[in-house]
């Protein structure tokens, strides 16, 4: 072998190392440049695009909600935006749709409203009713509302029914199917995996733990869910049938005899939609566009009708509201309740308390309205938020709770001491109960020859371990904590609602109720939406002239830039993938992972397991 072989190998190695480092450097430069370019585009658009969008005189205002209707958009990190684009949630703020309709009602530049509902996926009834009411109010101006879509989801159809005209593609459909609630159960899977589910609960109807302890829905859970679903379906059909001037019960009759109805329409669902009175005309996309050009005029540059999207319209109409000396602060509480701080779309005990404190310490705030859309979460975080609201009341500030689609369990706990509670008739509320859930893996570890052993100074030390399980002493203590937590919940509600503890227990036990039934039971004061709740808060505070202040967390410049970048990228993403296998896997991962995200220090949770998840 040649003596210079090691030298040659060293040279080759250094060349490859140099090449590798060069490639890494190029990679860093290229992706850094792309990131800077994206930031420059977004920031440039924010800085140089402040000029208000033009509003075509006599044109159409387009409301084109995408994804789910929500009270507050979930925070999405920039990494997730780029790496998990097919899972980025598409969400539309209900408030923006309502605000746009209110402004357009008296705007002489707006001749009509077009509801483009192809991308609206889901929304619970309280949100749909709020938008539908805004549509009805807009129509009192004498201006038309035209609904268009290739297909109408059940949620979209509810909104479309409140338009003057409903247009449908001849290959589409506009037929509801009714409401259902189903739950995935993991008991057998967990047993096969030798995972021990240590459960502690109080409440006959507290079914949040059933997915981990059963393989089917309990009779109690079915009873509670069906009561909610029947109320929803009655409200939905009443709303659509009244708006479309259909005979009462016609929707239910059609669905009870669905095969015969489809057979009569020769399998053409669009024709069935038309014959059933749910749409007015069958038009292709081109025909819809030409019809709207007749109504709003032609935009020759875009080969379409003259229009402005609701987001641009709101930006064009944005102006600093007149500030009165008195303010009603509105604080939004949406999502699972967790200890500590949480981003938008979740409720952090510390972060939401900070917003309440911010409003309380503002000398101009006379009242606080907390808008709740949550099925609960951590008990300790729920109590932290409630006591912060009590501190506001102690300082002379009126506190009103306004329930969105769901305000149950921990969501109800937050509101229990409010001066007034307002809910929608179809709000899901109640679920006054508590449980503890601690999974442990000692069985599966033993299967593979893994054991844990040691010593402790007291029976409590190390008594709860994911590797060893839970000792009898620790089990007894946890059940006592859960029992005490339930009594605390009952007492809190009783004191806040002026009821006896036993009377609260009768309507508690984890049972869910509609907002309308909750008012009958004394858990809710009035039925109405957030606008009525704000007006009620002002009356309680005895103020006539006031401004409404939506309290948000103040973000540093870096976070504001990240949010702007994320929103800009997210808006350009395609819809979430609908591959059924991927969706099933995602759902199972989310449901199993939910337990791991809960962080109450006492493992005590006030969660409504049978509440819908649409926010």
Catalytic residue annotation: 206, 409
- For residues 2 and 7, give the distance between their C-alpha atoms in angstroms, rounded to a whole number: 10
Alpha-carbon distance of 73 to 556, in angstroms, equals 19
Closest CA to 535 of 516, 526, 521, 396: 526
Residue entry with tokens 């299967």: 447
What span, in angstroms and rounded, lies between the C-alpha atoms of 243 and 608?
Answer: 33
Task: Answer for the pair 269, 177: CB distance below 8 angstroms, yes or no.
Answer: no
Token pair 């937050």 is found at 414
What is the chain's length?
615
What's the CA gap between 579 and 271, in Å, rounded? 28
CB 236 within 8 A of CB 125: yes
Residue appearing with tokens 């109320």: 231
Asked if residues 50 and 104 have their Cβ atoms less than 8 Å apart, the reply is no
Name the nearest CA neighbour of 383 among 347, 419, 413, 421. 413
H/E stretch holding 347:
strand 347-348
CB 190 within 8 A of CB 172: no
Neighbouring C-beta atoms of residue 587, cutoff 10 Å: 11
Q: Which residues fall within 8 angstroms of residue 149, CB to CB, at 6 or more apart?
A: 116, 117, 118, 156, 160, 167, 168, 169, 172, 174
- Lookup result for tokens 């930006």: 315
The angle subtended at Cα 428 by Cα 615 and Cα 257, nearest 5°, is 90
Rounded CA gap, 456 and 168, in Å? 71
Q: Are strands 420-423 and 398-408 parallel, antiparallel or unpaired?
A: parallel
Nearest to 172 by CA among 152, 154, 147: 152
DSSP string, 498-515: T--HHHHHHH-TT-EEEH
Q: What phi, psi does 578 have (nearest 5°)? A: -110, 15
Q: Give the list of residues 6+ apart from residue 237 with CB closer than 8 angstroms, or none.
A: 249, 251, 252
CA distance 199 to 213: 8
Helix or strand run (H / E) with residue 370: strand 365-374
d(C-alpha 100, C-alpha 97), whole Å: 5
Q: Which CA distances in Å does 576 have to 67, 91, 183, 335, 595?
A: 9, 11, 22, 20, 25
Asked whether the CA dihedral 593, 598, 604, 608 is positive or negative, the reply is: negative
Other Cβ atoms within 10 Å of 9 Cβ, number: 10
Q: State the sign of the Cα–Cα–Cα–Cα dihedral 255, 256, 262, 265.
A: negative
């Amino acid at each position: 072998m040649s003596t210079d072989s090691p030298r040659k190998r060293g040279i080759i190695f250094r060349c490859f190392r140099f090449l590798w480092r060069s490639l890494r450097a190029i990679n860093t430069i290229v992706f850094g440049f792309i990131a800077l370019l994206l930031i420059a585009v977004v920031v440039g658009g924010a800085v140089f695009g402040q000029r208000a969008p033009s509003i075509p005189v006599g044109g159409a205002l387009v409301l084109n909600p995408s994804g789910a209707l929500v009270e507050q958009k979930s925070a999405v990190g920039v990494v997730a935006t780029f790496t998990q684009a097919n899972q980025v949630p598409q969400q539309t703020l209900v408030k923006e749709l309502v605000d746009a309709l209110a402004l357009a009602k008296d705007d002489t530049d707006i001749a009509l409203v077009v509801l483009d509902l192809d991308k609206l996926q889901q929304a619970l009834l309280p949100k749909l009713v709020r938008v539908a009411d805004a549509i009805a109010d807009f129509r009192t101006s004498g201006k038309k509302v035209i609904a268009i879509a290739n297909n109408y989801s059940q949620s979209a159809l509810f909104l479309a029914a409140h338009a003057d005209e409903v247009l449908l593609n001849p290959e589409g459909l506009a037929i509801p199917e009714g409401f259902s609630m189903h739950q995935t159960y993991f008991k057998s899977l967990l047993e096969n995996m030798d995972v021990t589910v240590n459960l502690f609960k109080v409440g006959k109807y507290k079914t949040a733990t059933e997915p981990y302890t059963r393989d089917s829905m309990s009779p109690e859970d079915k009873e509670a869910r069906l009561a909610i679903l029947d109320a929803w379906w009655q409200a939905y059909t009443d709303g659509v049938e009244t708006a479309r001037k259909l005979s009462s019960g016609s929707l239910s009759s059609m669905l009870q005899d669905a095969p015969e109805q489809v057979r009569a329409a020769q399998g053409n669902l669009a024709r069935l939609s038309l014959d059933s009175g749910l749409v007015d005309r069958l038009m292709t996309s081109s025909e819809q566009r030409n019809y709207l050009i007749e109504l709003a005029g032609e935009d020759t540059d875009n080969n379409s009708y003259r229009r402005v999207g609701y987001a641009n319209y709101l930006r064009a109409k944005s102006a600093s509201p007149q500030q009165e000396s008195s303010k009603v602060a509105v604080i939004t509480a949406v999502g699972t309740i967790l200890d500590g701080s949480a981003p938008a779309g979740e409720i952090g005990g510390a972060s939401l308390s900070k917003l309440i404190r911010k409003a309380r310490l503002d000398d101009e705030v006379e009242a606080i309205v907390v808008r709740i859309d949550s099925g609960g979460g951590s008990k300790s975080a729920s109590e932290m938020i409630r006591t912060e609201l009590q501190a506001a009341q102690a300082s002379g500030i009126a506190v009103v709770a306004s329930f969105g689609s769901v305000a149950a369990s921990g969501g109800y706990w937050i509101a229990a001491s409010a001066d007034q509670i307002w809910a929608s008739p179809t709000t899901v509320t109640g679920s006054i109960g508590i449980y503890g859930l601690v999974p442990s893996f000692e069985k599966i570890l033993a299967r593979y020859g893994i054991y844990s052993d040691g010593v402790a100074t007291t029976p409590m030390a190390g008594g709860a371990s994911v590797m060893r399980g839970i000792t009898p002493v620790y089990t007894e203590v946890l059940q006592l904590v859960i029992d005490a937590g339930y009594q605390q919940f009952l007492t809190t509600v009783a004191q806040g609602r002026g009821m006896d503890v036993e009377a609260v227990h009768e309507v508690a036990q984890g049972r869910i109720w509609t907002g309308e039934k909750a008012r009958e039971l004394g858990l809710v004061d009035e039925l109405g939406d957030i606008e009525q709740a704000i007006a009620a808060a002002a009356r309680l505070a005895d103020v006539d002239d006031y401004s409404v202040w939506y309290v948000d967390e103040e973000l540093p410049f870096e976070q504001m830039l990240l949010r702007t970048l994320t929103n800009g990228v997210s808006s350009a993403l395609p819809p979430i993938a609908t591959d059924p296998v991927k969706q099933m896997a995602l759902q199972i991962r989310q449901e199993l992972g939910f337990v791991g995200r809960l962080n109450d220090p006492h493992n005590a949770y006030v969660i409504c397991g049978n509440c819908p998840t649409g926010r």
